[in-house]
Amino acid sequence: MLDNVNEILVSVTIVLAVMAISVRLLQKVNRIEWVKNFFAWLLGWVDLLLSAIAIALVIRTFVVEPFRIPSGSMEDTLLIGDQLFVNRFIYGLHVPFTKARPLALRQPRHGDVVVFVPPHQRDKDFIKRVIGIPGDTVEIRRNVVYLNGIAQVEPYVLHKDQGRVPPYMAATPKFIVPPGKYFMMGDNRDRSDDSRRWGLASYEDLKGKALFIFFSSDPTQPMYNPFTWVRWKRLFKGVG
C-alpha cells in the first residue's frame, strides 16, 4: 500500500489527540484573555484535523483505498507506476480481528482484479486476477487455463518468456477449488508470482476489487517533464 499511510494517519491522530487534551488543560488554567483566545483558535484547528483524519481512516478501511502497482505481474492491464482505487466493501466489510465479512454486495467472480494478502507473505498486498472460484475444476496445459474442462479465452493474458519458464507455470495438475478459496494469476503469466507457486488465496484475505486508475507515472521518464512522466491516457481508466 501507499507507504503505510494508515500507520501514519493513526500516529498523527494520536499526536493531535494529545495536543487537544493539552490545549484544553492550558486553556482552563490560563487567565490571560488573548492566550485563551489563541488556545481556542488552536483547538478549533486541532479538532478539525482530527475529524478529517477520522473520516479518511473510515473511508480507507471500509470504502475505497489507494493501491500502487509495484511490479509488472499484471502487464499490460496494469503497469508499474499505476495508482488505482480499490473497492473495500464489495466483498463485505472488514471486521477487525475477525474473519467475518458482513454486508457483502457479491462474491468474487471470474476475471475480477483483486487486492489481497497472499498466504506466504502476510505483510504484503498482491494484486491478481481471479481465475478459479470455489467449486471450479482448474487445470493448466501448455499455458492454457481450463475451467471445468473448457479452455479459456483470455485476451488480457501476456506471455513475455514463453518457453523459458519453470514447468509449474506452464502446466498444473487438475484440482477442485475448495470453499472459501480462490485461484489467482497475473495477466503477465510468465512473470507473475501467483497461485501456481504458493497456492490459493482465502476469502477473508481479499481486501477489495480494483476500480480504476486515478494516476499513472512512467518510472523510466524524468519527473520534471509531466508530458512524458504522466501517462495521461491511463488516467481514470477502469480495471477489468
User: Which residues are catalytic, by number?
Assistant: 73, 128
| Spatial distance between the Cα atoms of 219 and 35, rounded to a whole number of angstroms | 50
Q: Are 138 and 145 in contact (CB under 8 A)?
A: yes
Cell of 148: 471445468
Instruction: Output the nine-digit C-alpha cell for 53.
Output: 483524519
Size of the chain in residues? 240
Q: Using an 8 Å Cβ cutoff, are 85 and 64 in contact? A: yes
User: How do the residues of the chain divide into helix, strand and coil, expressed in percent and rounded to 5?
Assistant: 30, 25, 45
